[in-house]
Amino acid sequence: MIVPCIDLMGGKVVQLVQGREKALEGAEPLEMLRRFAAFPQIQVIDLDAAIGTGSNDELVELLARHATCRVGGGVRSAARARKLIEQGAYRVIVGTAAFDRPVLEEIAAEIGPQRIVIALDSKHGRIVIKGWRESVPLTAEQVIQDLELFCSGFLCTYVDKEGMLQGTDLDWFRRLRAATGHEITAAGGITTIEEIEELRRLDIHAALGMAIYKGRLNLEHLAERFASTL
């Protein structure tokens, strides 16, 4: 499955390089949904909430009411997870809180593991949290099985290549695929059809951002070529 990404910052659709430098601004949120209409799920990340500088709640709710969205960014309490579900989110992406076991247990109890996608974001081989601003001394491969009980899938981002249009690390995704039977969505630097094809062979979904915003991957072509996996 192809999962187009809508990242929100300061009330606008943006794309960042490695979660820090803003590279571009996209169209209005509903226009982006129109462009992504051929795809069954959209990934929405509130970057301001992720780094603790604010929120884009109104836009998140707008998007979640008009499309099937998995929503993340700043989900660090059961109350926040519940609010996103009430705003229309189909699934909730939990990152930082996945490494605070009591909070993760509360979130899973509140909305159910089937509504949770756990984000395993990796930079320089270590998991990064709090909007990719801090690292923990663990690898995704070390923790992925231990977290299966609390979610229905994983969003695994190779931060080293995020937004750089230089390709991703397929070997990392192969290792993750070998470590879990849960659904995996790959993100971070995916730039070519060949990478998407290899991920599909691994039974891994592809979350796409910069490559489609910059036109390196054509949305109509993706919808036609991967129609059977949508």
Domains and CATH numbers, the chain: 2-229 (3.20.20.70)
Q: Is the pTM of this model over 0.85?
A: yes
pLDDT, one tens digit per residue, over 36-82 is: 999 999 999 999 999 889 999 999 999 999 999 999 999 999 999 99
pLDDT, one tens digit per residue, over 105-159 is: 999 999 999 999 999 999 999 999 988 889 999 999 999 999 999 999 999 999 9
- Averaged pLDDT for residues 23-44: 94
Residue 225's pLDDT is 86
CB atoms within 10 A of CB 9: 22
Chain mean pLDDT for the chain: 94
Above pLDDT 70, what percent of the chain?
A: 98
* Residue 146 designated active-site: no
Give the amino acid at 128. Answer: V
**Closest C-alpha among 108, 201, 194, 120 to residue 155:** 120
Residue 230's pLDDT is 47
Burial class (CB in 10 A: 0-12, 13-18, 19+), 113: middle
Among 7, 146, 169, 203, the active-site one is 7
Continuous segment of H or E residues that includes residue 58: helix 57-66
Q: Is pLDDT above 60 for 20?
A: yes
Q: Is pLDDT above 80 for 19?
A: no
Please give the DSSP secondary-structure letter assigned to residue 74: S
Q: Is pLDDT above 50 for 8?
A: yes
Among 46, 48, 57, 121, the active-site one is 121
- Averaged pLDDT for residues 177-185: 98
Local structure of 82: helix, strand or coil:
helix
Residue 107's pLDDT is 98
Measured distance CA(56)–CA(95) in Å, rounded: 18
- Averaged pLDDT for residues 169-173: 97
* Residue 7 designated active-site: yes
Please give the DSSP secondary-structure letter assigned to residue 32: H
